């Protein structure tokens, strides 16, 4: 299997100081991939900067200009969660451009799949607003780009970040060409993503939200993939799958309260890869979103690459969660979602 990875030191120049979303995230990932000698199994993909035209596929010109102006002033806080430095605008251009480039090399058959190790992340960014650590919506931009460039009719976006991707949902809420599926802790930031948010107009039923209770782990997530995500994706028959890959649902990540393990992430990726192989000739692109415990993030990203490469020996140095959470049965939730989306 030919698996590509996007990375560039420009992503480290998005200097957020002591913010939880900081350069150490990527530095730890790259170091771990090198130390485990997995990096040499991957095909490097050099990103370019997204153009204003490409950003404008999703974002209003006023928003793009605002992000540029904040950077020119030396940076600052966009909101209570999101901070920029002088180089953040350039880094964000290369983040969006990196996911576009990964999508292009997959669509052109240069690699079988790819993972864009980019920052700042993107799935909270809306057409007119930066929020939740995100400046531009990298995956949404890449999806719009692929629809236009390759004349695709159907793209699926699977978002397994612990937070709901409100920006991605809003971008495609009325678009029947894009199936957006999100698993997320609920209720939690940003407050969106209830089961009855299913799309509007022609996009009705192409948004599938799976709001999970705190404490959910490997068992709950795999049940959701088996009973909801697999049948929904098979019914939609995407020609490309994009993944907003957030590793903040790992049990060791302090930003939320999910209990997924590195082994659990490997199983999730195996399912997604199986869907891509069956439905769209393996065309699959991952983009990094959350994940704020460096050790958990690095091991989980490596496990993702291992599954994409077909390596079956998954290293899970942190193991299963030592915490005991009383998570009630999610069977009623699954039943309700299956009824809403008419799944057998």
- Domains identified in the chain and CATH numbers: 3-313 (3.40.800.20)
Question: Which residue, among 7, 6, 3, 25, has the nearest Cα to 250 in the 3D structure?
Answer: 25
For residue 344, how many other CB atoms are within 10 A of its CB?
4
Omega of the bond leading into 117 within 30 degrees of 0 (cis): no
pTM: 0.98
Whole-number pLDDT of residue 344:
79
113-116 and 284-288 beta bridge pairing: parallel
Instruction: Quote the pLDDT of residue 1.
Output: 92
pLDDT at 91: 99
The residues annotated with a catalytic role in the active site are 124
Q: Specify the pLDDT at position 326.
A: 84
Determine the pLDDT at residue 300: 98
Predicted confidence at residue 207, as pLDDT, reads: 99
Low-confidence residues in the chain, pLDDT < 50:
none
């Amino acid at each position: 299997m030919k698996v590509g990875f996007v990375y560039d030191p420009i992503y480290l120049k998005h200097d957020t100081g002591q913010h939880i979303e900081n350069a150490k995230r990527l530095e730890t990932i790259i170091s771990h991939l090198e130390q485990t000698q997995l990096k040499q199994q991957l095909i490097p993909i050099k990103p370019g900067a997204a153009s204003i035209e490409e950003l404008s596929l999703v974002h209003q010109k006023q928003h793009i200009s605002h992000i540029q102006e904040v950077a020119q002033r030396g940076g600052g806080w966009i909101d209570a969660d999101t901070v920029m430095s002088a180089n953040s605008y350039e880094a964000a251009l290369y983040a969006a451009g990196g996911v576009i480039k990964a999508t292009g090399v997959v669509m052109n058959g240069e690699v079988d799949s790819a993972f864009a190790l980019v920052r700042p992340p993107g799935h909270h960014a809306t057409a007119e607003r930066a929020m939740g650590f995100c400046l531009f919506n990298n995956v949404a931009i890449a999806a719009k780009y692929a629809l236009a460039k390759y004349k695709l009719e159907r793209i699926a976006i699977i978002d397994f970040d612990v937070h709901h991707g409100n920006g991605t949902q809003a971008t495609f809420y009325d678009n029947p060409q894009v199936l957006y599926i999100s698993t997320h802790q609920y209720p939690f930031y940003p407050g969106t993503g209830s089961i009855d948010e299913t799309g509007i107009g022609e996009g009705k039923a192409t948004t599938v939200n799976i709001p999970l209770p705190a404490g959910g782990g490997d068992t709950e997530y795999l049940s959701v993939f088996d009973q909801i995500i697999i049948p929904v994706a098979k019914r939609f028959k995407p020609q490309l799958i994009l993944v907003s890959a957030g590793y903040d649902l790992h049990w060791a990540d302090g930003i939320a309260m999910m209990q997924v393990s590195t082994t659990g992430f490997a199983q999730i990726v195996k399912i997604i890869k199986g869907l891509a192989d069956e439905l769209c000739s393996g065309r699959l692109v991952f983009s990094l979103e959350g994940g704020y415990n460096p050790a958990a993030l690095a091991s989980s990203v490596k496990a993702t690459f291992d599954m994409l490469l077909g390596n079956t020996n998954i290293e899970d140095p942190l193991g299963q969660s030592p915490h005991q959470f009383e998570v009630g049965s999610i069977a009623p939730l699954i039943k309700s979602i299956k009824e809403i989306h008419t799944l057998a």
